[in-house]
Structure formats: structure tokens, C-alpha cells
Structure 1
């Protein structure tokens, strides 16, 4: 993917732009006018993209290009109604990297928001396999469907982990900020974006004054490396480490669009159809049949409803965060 990036930026995008302009204008480009090479990827099978997801993702991309917000030759889409963890180490392909200029299409895995279970108050938690709950409330850890544009990328140090009996490595992770609109407009204050599905657990502090990451007392965090590519996130889009290494460089100083399906009106319509046992296809609706069978009825939790619940749940003052313990010898 990276090897073709220079070609895409130097030649491919200008060719694609010229073709669109010759046809009339960006505004005249209809979402139904999907090029033949891309239509071949439409479907609900493994590695394919549902028609409604592609149409909306493509329409968002063309709109942002027309507005002068985006010049990147690639754009992204995600179908959060599809399964994530298929079991036996297999991951579902539901995040799509679509590049107009070189006519490339990739389907990869991506995690969804875990949600939360507020014991005795509200349960909007999601399992690893399929997402049932969606929403846009602060501190909800839920995925919000809709339109985003990628922003800046920040790389931070997470700590050290053991590579071998005599060697440690530093974990740094890049985070791509998303900016939204409408129901996704609070993406920045929610710290919603994309990053590799890797972190450290069981962290303690180890003395290492020579490290450039050492604190004022000469300590650095040390933990166990965890790859949660088949797991859930705090509402962000998480990619496998290998996929993140290819995606993040595409976005350096070159924003693009991310469309995540489903939006709240999709969820509400599917929930109504499921409640009345109406055929989704006959109603012109879409949801992964596998996941709909697993979750029953999906639900969208709007921030206007969920944030007051979360505020009451957290009404007691929280204890200050404690520093990790010092590592045992």
C-alpha cells in the first residue's frame, strides 16, 4: 500500500480529478454511479461491502473532495453490523480501504466500541463478536455511525514490554483523530479516532534512568503486550498492528473521509422491523444477517438520554488515579 502512495498522490489523483471534472462536476456524480471495478466488490459475503455502506461512503468522500476538505486518493468505510471476532483466531473483514486512482479495494478487520454495563442502572455493553448497542454519549465507549474526516496523528509512548529474556522494547502507538458532523460532531471531545489494537496490561514502574521516556524519578512503565485485534475498543476504530502500519502513513498531512455504518436512523428502522418480524430486504433495510440473529434487536443510545444516566452514575467524586506499583525484582 505504501509503495503505491507516491504514485497515487503525484499522478493518480490528478487523473481521477480530471475524469470527474470532464464529466461535468463533482456535484453531478451520483452515488449510484459506482464504477464497474468497484461494483465487483459489492455484496454481503466475506470481503465484500454492502451497497448502502459503499454508496454513503463514496458520497461522503466526493462531497468532501468537492468542498476542498479532502485531496487524499483513498477513503475508508466500516460496516459495524458485521461480526468482528469469528472465533478460532479468525477476524471479520468489515473495514474498507478504497483507493480511486489505482482502483484498489481492501477489506480488513476493525474493532467496535465495548460499551458499558452500569450495574443496576443501564446495560449497553457489547460482546466481542457483534455490536448490539451504539451511541454518541461521552464516556459511553460506544461506536457512533456516521460521517468523519481524519485529523492529526499523535504518537505516544505506552511503556516497555519483554521481547526476550534479555531484551525489552518500547511500545509507541499512533492515534489518528477523527472529526465528525451531526451525531458524530463530538468525536474530538470523545477522543474518537483510529489506532492499532495493541496495549500494555499489568503495568508496573521499573527503574531505568537512561531511558528517554523516564520520569523525573528515573522510572518507566513496564507491562505485558496485548494484541486485542479481535476485541473491543473504547469507541474508537481499532486495527490490527500490521494493518495500522499501512493505514496511518496514508493519512500523514493528508486527511480523508471515514464513513461508519449504521447511523441512528438505520438502527431505529431495523429495530422496528425486527420487532414486527418484517423482512429487512423487503423494507429496503440492511444489517448483517449473522449478527442480527446474534443480537436480536439493536439499539441506539443518544447522548441526550445516556449522558444524564452516566452523570448520575458518577455523581460520587472519583478517587484520584493511583500511580502503578514499582515492579518486583
Structure 2
């Protein structure tokens, strides 16, 4: 009985040694990852606030250089995101985990970004994420999960969302831009999933207000009117969401000039960390990386592949058809 109880532990430790064999020693791994970084960029490498983890930067930089060499990308800047970092810090401030790197002018910037909120299917499957740390990742349709990996920014779509009140006598219009991502590997269905980047703002409690003079009025002279919500620091439907001010700058960088985005972790990283955690070995010892604060909070991450989660979501949707969409009500007093 004692030998049988030890088998899972032995298997986990054996798996860790396999990872070490594949990646090499931690010292050689670290040296190979940082040796070609310019000094100014190396100064931003680390796991402190405002810094970028070495593995995340190396992956993002390699993807960018690959796409530049193939003529896919000419943009002088590239992006990275570390979805293992906390979205909200212990002091309540937003964690900075999305990175804009422009090597030609030696600029590095870290900003906040949201992660996929996932879903809880009422006892069937729970793959929901908290506001602070992401535990669940995936690439299934309607999963609302972040899928890490390699992306290239594609076209930017801009759409009118409606009006909202900014003062007692003044309204403003919400026009939101969306940057489509094209992914590779497990993230190759990004366009199908409508995955991209956009400002973290939307309208709540929308009603229709009579305004025939508006250029956005429908054929009956009505426009949508609601309450503006800024959900920077919240969760998304799997897209990458930025604060409105940061989004404006990022969208300007990629407009008519695509670039790369590497989102860490990808599915292989998640599965390797999930195997290594039960063995009780520090991840750095086996050449793996996860933000320590979030790993302590989530225990171990999980990747939900399309082939596993897709049928569950499809059956859930079939068994619980959405109610018929009700028409948007007319605003009171109209």
C-alpha cells in the first residue's frame, strides 16, 4: 500500500526530470535567453512590478524577429502579455502585464490588461477566473478564456456603440475600436472566436432615445443611450482589454501597420507547470515560469482545449437555448 501511494509522487518527479533534460540546466537556460538582449532592454527584465519576465520577453522578441525576417511585419514595435501576473495588486492598483517594446527608439512600456473571465456551467464544468489571477485558459468557442501563444495584429474595426451622459447638459458618443488578432497553433481560431484587443469600456442599461438629427440615428430617428462603464482591471470574454487611454495609443501603433503579440502562457507552458507543481520543485529549477503570487493563489493552472471543452459548451447551449432577444426599450420620457 505504501509503494502504491508513492507512485504518483515518483511519476511527477520523473516528469520534472524529463523537463530539465529537455530544457537544459537552469543556468544555461537563463544565459541563452538573455545573452542577445541589448543592455537597455535587459534592465527591464525581472519579475517586479513594471518589469517583464525573461521567458516572456524572449518568446515575444523571437516571434517579432521571425515575422520581420519573413516580411510579415515592418512595425518598429511589438507586444507581449504575461497573463500569469495579477490583474489587480495587493494595494488595489492595476497590475501592469502588457508590454509595448520599440527597440528602434529604446522604449519599453508596461500597462494593465484584462484576462478572459471564463464561465461556470452550473455544476457541469467550472472554468471561471477570478478578477485578480487567471487559473483557467483555453481556445474553445464561447469559453470566454484567454488562449496564449503567437498572434499578429490584423485589421482594426471601429463601431458606434451609443451615447452616454458626461454632465448635466452634455452627452458624448462612444465609438469603440477593435483590433483583430490572427493566431497560430492552439490560438489559430482567434478570428473565428473574434479575439482581439479593445478599450475596456461599454454601455450598460441601454435604451433608445429620439434624436433624428444624429448621424447615427436609425430609420425611426432613435439612437442608443446608456451608462458608460470602464472595466479596466476587470475580465473580458477572452479578448485583450486595455484602459481607454492606453488603448488609443496601442491602436495608433498598429493602424495599417501590423505587428506581433505574444501572450504567455501557451498550452504547453500550462501543462508543464501543472505537472511540475505537485512535485513540489521550484519552477525556476526546471526551467519553467509562472508568477509566484498568482501561482500561490490558484494552486495550479489548467488548459481547456477545444476538443474537450467544445462539445461540453455545445451541449450546454443546446440544452439551455438563450431566450428570444427582446427589443431595446425606449428611454423613459421619450
| TM alignment of 1:209-288, pairs within 5 A | 209-288=212-291
* Corresponding position: 1:324 with 2:328: yes
Q: C-alpha distance in 1, partners of 2:91/2:166?
A: 25
Query: Which runs of 5 or more residues in structure 1 are unaligned?
Result: 1-28
Say if 1:73 and 1:285 are closer, same or farther in 2 by CA, change over 3 A.
same
* Cα distance in 2 between the residues matched to 1:125 and 1:45: 27
The 5-angstrom pairing of residues 81-120 of structure 1 reads 81-86=84-89, 89-120=92-123
- 1:63–1:225 distance in 2 versus 1, CA, 3 Å: same
Q: Secondary structure at the match of 2:80?
A: strand
Question: Counterparts of 2:97 and 2:145 in 1: how far apart (Å)?
Answer: 17
Q: Residues 156 and 88 (structure 1 numbering): CA distance in 2 closer, same or farther, change over 3 Å?
A: farther
Secondary structure of the residue that 1:255 maps to in structure 2?
A: coil
1:305 aligns with 2:308: yes
Instruction: Report what 1:51 is aligned to.
Output: 54
Partner of 2:190: helix, strand, or coil?
A: coil
Aligned to 2:38: 35
Question: Of Structure 1 and Structure 2, which has the larger fraction of its residues in helix?
Answer: 2
2:34·2:42 contact (CA, 8 Å) conserved in 1? no
| Separation (CA, whole Å) in 2 of partners of 1:41 and 1:98 | 10
TM-score by length of 1: 0.89
Task: State the Cα deviation string for residues 120-148 of structure 1 (Å, max 9, x = none).
Answer: 21110111100000000011000000000
Separation in 2, partners of 1:127, 1:179? 26
RMSD: 1.4
Mapped to 2, the partners of 1:103 and 1:234 lie a distance apart of 33
Alpha-carbon deviations, 1:225-259, whole Å to 9, x = none?
A: 11100100000000001101111011111000000
Match of 1:14 in 2: none
1:80 matched to which residue of 2? Answer: 83
**What residue in structure 2 maps to residue 295 of structure 1?**
298
Distance 2:283 2:91 in 1: 30
**Structure number with larger C-alpha Rg:** 2
How many residues in Structure 1 have an aligned counterpart in Structure 2?
301
Q: Deviations over 1:131-167 (max 9, x none)?
A: 0000000110000000000000011011110011111
Shift of 1:86: 2.1
Deviation at residue 318 of structure 1 after TM alignment: 3.1
> Structure 1: how far apart are the matches of 2:254 and 2:323?
38
Q: TM-score, normalised by structure 2?
A: 0.88
The alpha-carbon deviation at position 100 of structure 1 amounts to: 1.2
CA-CA distance at 1:99 after TM superposition: 0.1
CA contact (8 A) 1:31 1:59 kept: no
Contiguous gaps of at least 5 residues in structure 2? 1-31
TM-superposition CA deviations, 1:69-117 (whole Å, max 9, x none) = 0000000000000001226551001000000110100000000001011
Distance 1:143 1:35, change over 3 A: same
1:125 aligned residue: 128
Give the 3-state SS of the residue equivalent to 1:282 in structure 2.
Answer: helix
| Contact persistence 1:32–1:55 (CA under 8 A) | no
Instruction: Find the aligned partners of 1:159 and 1:42 in 2 and give their Cα distance.
Output: 42
Structure 1: how far apart are the matches of 2:34 and 2:69?
Answer: 14
Please name the residue that 1:64 is paired with.
Answer: 67
1:10 maps to which residue? Answer: none
**87 and 321 in structure 1: CA distance in 2 versus 1, 3 angstrom threshold:** farther
**Equivalent position of 1:4 in the other structure:** none
Q: How far did 1:30 drift?
A: 8.4
Q: Does 1:191 align with 2:189?
A: no
